[in-house]
Structure 1
Amino acid sequence: MCSTRRDFLRQSLLILPPIALSASLFPRTAWGAQSSGGTVINVRDKGAKGDGVHDDTSAFQAAVDALPPSGGTVTVPSGNYIIDAMRSINLRSNMLLQLAPDATLTAIPNNSPRSHVIKVWNANNVRITGGRIVGERNEHSGAGGEWGYGINIQSSNHVRVSDMHISDCWGDGIWIGALGPDGHATPSTDVTIDRVVSTDNRRQGLSIGPVDGVVIMNSTFSNSDGTKPMSGIDIEPQAQGLARNITIDHCIISGNHGTGMEIHYNVSNVTIKNCTFRNNQGYGLLTVDSPSNLTITDNVITNNGLVGLVIAGQTTHVKATGNTLTGNSARYARRIANALASPAALANVQKRELRVDAGTSDVSVTSTKFSQ
């Protein structure tokens, strides 16, 4: 992780107890209505028991591997399926993994810094829908590392994840990125996350590395807590490659122990719209290092511990319009009522809602609503 980011956030964030949300959102999905065409294989027919006791990893992999090259569907009926995240369920091209709404993939506790419940690596045309993934953070026997994933998508194309609930991972609920050395990694392209809840993960709800074409919509990323940065969403390709053409639409980013959403360098062409950033202990939405070409529109950023919207570092080419900023910098004592009588007090309140640093360039902030 980039030391610039670590230093920036370390100076800004204090260690405070986590914020509890009143409720979590649970996605809904249709069961039995989808098909990837061709062969359909039920994991029970390959020996999966779904009894919450037996290791079902081999049965899942046997079902995936039994699909023909032309593709097909692996179905997962109701049950609690125990998965060895050190071996993972390795998906292949041209397939749909379809879980019943009450099917759960529960990771076996391990002591490794790195593990994956589901891997989508070097694959094309993959869909994952329904059910739940429960990580092993609460029973993890190791101390270090931050790379235990619910779903890990790397160097893959045309991937869609929908109607899932992911929680309690040692690292990130979802990672979308690239395989390969710095500067030469193969990005993931055309990835969609829709109607997903990623909550109570140790590092992040969602992290994005090198990609080209990602849409995140109608989803919730909440209650990240355990190891820094502890954000809801973190776009962090760093030196590995470029992250570009990303849209975050109609999402809720809430209750995270760090910042709601962070955007770092080697990032361009990001649109964030119609989202709610609330009750995060750090900033609501932060751009730092040198991302470019950002559109931030019609979002509600409220009751975050530090400044609501921060455009920092060498961020360039930003259009922020129609955003509502209210009740941010909640860690600081404030006298909102005085703002009604004093223009100076109002300006001070607004500084706690919005910050644009001097090193930024071509930043336009218009039609911002500072409401009580």
Structure 2
Amino acid sequence: MNHSRTAVRYSMLSLALMITLSSSFVFAGQENGASQGKAKLPGARPVIHAINYESIQQALDALPAEGGVVMLPPGNFEIDQPLVITKGDVLLMGAGSATHIHNKNEEGKDAIAIHPPADAKLPNGKPDPKPRIWRVQLQNFRVTGNEKSGRGINAKWVQEIYIHGVTCSYHGSDGIFLDFCFEDPRVSDCLITYNKATGLNLIGCHDIVVSANHFEENLDALKCAEGFNLCMSGNNLDDHLRDGVIIENTYGSIVCANMIEECKGRAITLDKECYGITLSANVIAHNGSGIILDDAHGCA
């Protein structure tokens, strides 16, 4: 009798275990199917993983017109033509410095070019005379060049651009060039080093935030021309081959709490009709010269 009860008990336990395992496989299959199939969340677009494409440019080209996310895997990626982004609401994100894009071009071409499409249209279908794209973000990767390459990142007419956690080094021209990206450009927590021209070159930008970056051994660290409302704070500038901060024809700005050391030329210079600029609480040490006010009005 006891043997019969034991056998029944083992049979019931075995049946329960089989049911549990079967349910687990079913649920796992449903979860995998949901992740691989069409997204259930209304409005969602899939993340584009560049590892599944033959080139980073192919992954960028796969972005829909509405924008999206391109994830870069760890690895060393050599390019000889610019990576081009012509859509807005785009995030290009790497895996930190383990994602390394190297521009081996020796004909002065840039590593990354961001600009509106050449055939941009107005809502009425006519060509747009002043095309703009909005909200492009670059984050968490390293991009390098060589003495004969062009700029590291060249952005033109990109509103609300955000560059964060990017290492931009060894380019034959500027590290980062923002050309009339005049609506709220932000550059933060970047390492900008060993570029043949300016580390961060800003022309025609408004309401600019430059914060918590490292600049080292560029020709000049930062230049802001024809701009408004630069807020530059908490940056570390060291060992530049010419000047630290160059501000020209710019209004209503603040440069504060930066460390500016060992520039062969001027630490900070204001020139070409600067107005309403405050320089405060900066450490300025061992430069060729200190603060030079060549053409500055209403400044403190």
Partner of 1:303: 286
- Contact 1:74–1:96, Cα closer than 8 Å, also in 2: yes
- 2:134, 2:107 → 1: CA distance? 31
Matches of 2:67 and 2:202 in 1, distance apart? Answer: 27
Q: Would you say the 8 A contact 1:155–1:189 is kept in 2?
A: no
Q: Corresponding residue for 2:165?
A: 163
> Tell me, what secondary structure is at the counterpart of 1:172?
coil
Shift of 1:91: 4.7
SS in 1 for 2:155: strand
Contact 2:56 2:83 in 1 (8 A): no
- 1:353-368 paired onto structure 2 within 5 Å: none
* Structure 1 Cα separation of the partners of residues 208 and 202 of structure 2: 9
1:232 matched residue in structure 2: 221
1:38 aligned to 28, 41, 45, which one? Answer: 45
Aligned 8 A contact 1:148 1:170 in 2 = yes
Q: Is residue 108 of structure 2 the alignment partner of residue 108 of structure 1?
A: no
Q: What's the secondary structure of 2:160's corresponding residue? A: strand
Contact 1:289 1:315 in 2 (8 A): yes
Q: 2:88 pairs with 79, 85, 93, which one?
A: 93
In the alignment, which residue of structure 2 is the partner of 1:287?
270
Q: Secondary structure at the match of 1:188?
A: coil
2:212 maps to what in 1?
218
- Partners of 1:188 and 1:287 lie apart in 2 by 20
- Cα RMSD over matched residues? 1.5
TM norm structure 2: 0.76
- Contact 2:66-2:87 at 8 Å conserved across structures: no
How far, CA to CA, are the matches of 1:135 and 1:244 in structure 2? 30
- SS in structure 2 opposite 1:277? strand
Match for 1:126 among 125, 131, 136? 136
In the alignment, does 2:300 pair up with 1:316? no
The 5 Å alignment of 1:162-311 reads 162-178=164-180, 187-224=181-218, 230-236=219-225, 242-265=226-249, 267-306=250-289, 308-311=290-293
Tell which has more relative contact order, 1 or 2 (C-alpha 8 A, sep 6+): 1
Match of 2:71 in 1: 75
Letter aligned with residue 284 of structure 2: I
Tell me the amino acid that sits aligned with residue 107 of structure 2.
N
* Number of aligned residue pairs: 240
Q: Any conservation in 2 of the 1:80–1:106 contact (CA below 8 Å)?
A: yes
Deviation at 1:38, TM superposition (A): 2.5
Q: Secondary structure at the match of 2:172?
A: coil
* Matched-pair contact (CA < 8 Å) for 1:91–1:118: no
- Are the equivalent residues in 1 in contact too, given 2:79–2:105 (CA < 8 A)? no
CA distance in structure 2 between the aligned counterparts of 1:158 and 1:263, rounded to whole angstroms: 21
Unaligned runs of 5+ residues in structure 1 are 1-36, 48-58, 141-146, 179-186, 225-229, 237-241, 320-372
Paired with 1:91 and 1:98, the residues of 2 have a C-alpha distance of 16
**Maintained 8 Å contact 1:260/1:283:** yes
* 2:15 corresponds to: none
Q: Find the residue that maps to 1:62 and give its secondary structure.
A: helix
DSSP-derived class of the 1:318 partner = coil
Q: Say which SS state the counterpart of residue 298 (structure 2) adopts.
A: strand
Which of the two has greater helix per residue?
2
* AA matched with 1:232: A
Cα deviation code 1:172-214 (max 9, x no counterpart): 0001123xxxxxxxx5311110100110000111111011121
User: Aligned partners of 2:216, 2:63: CA distance in 1, in Å?
Assistant: 35
Distance (Å, rounded) in 1 between the aligned partners of 2:273 and 2:238: 25
Residue ranges of structure 2 left out of the alignment (5+ in a row)? 1-43, 117-132
CA distance in 1, matches of 2:103, 2:67: 26
Distance 1:39 1:296 in 2: 46
1:355 aligned partner = none
Distance 1:121 1:68 in 2: 16
1:130 counterpart SS class: strand
CA contact (8 A) 2:65 2:87 kept: no
Give the TM-score taking structure 1 as reference length: 0.62
Quote the Cα distance in structure 2 between the aligned partners of 1:169 and 1:38.
34
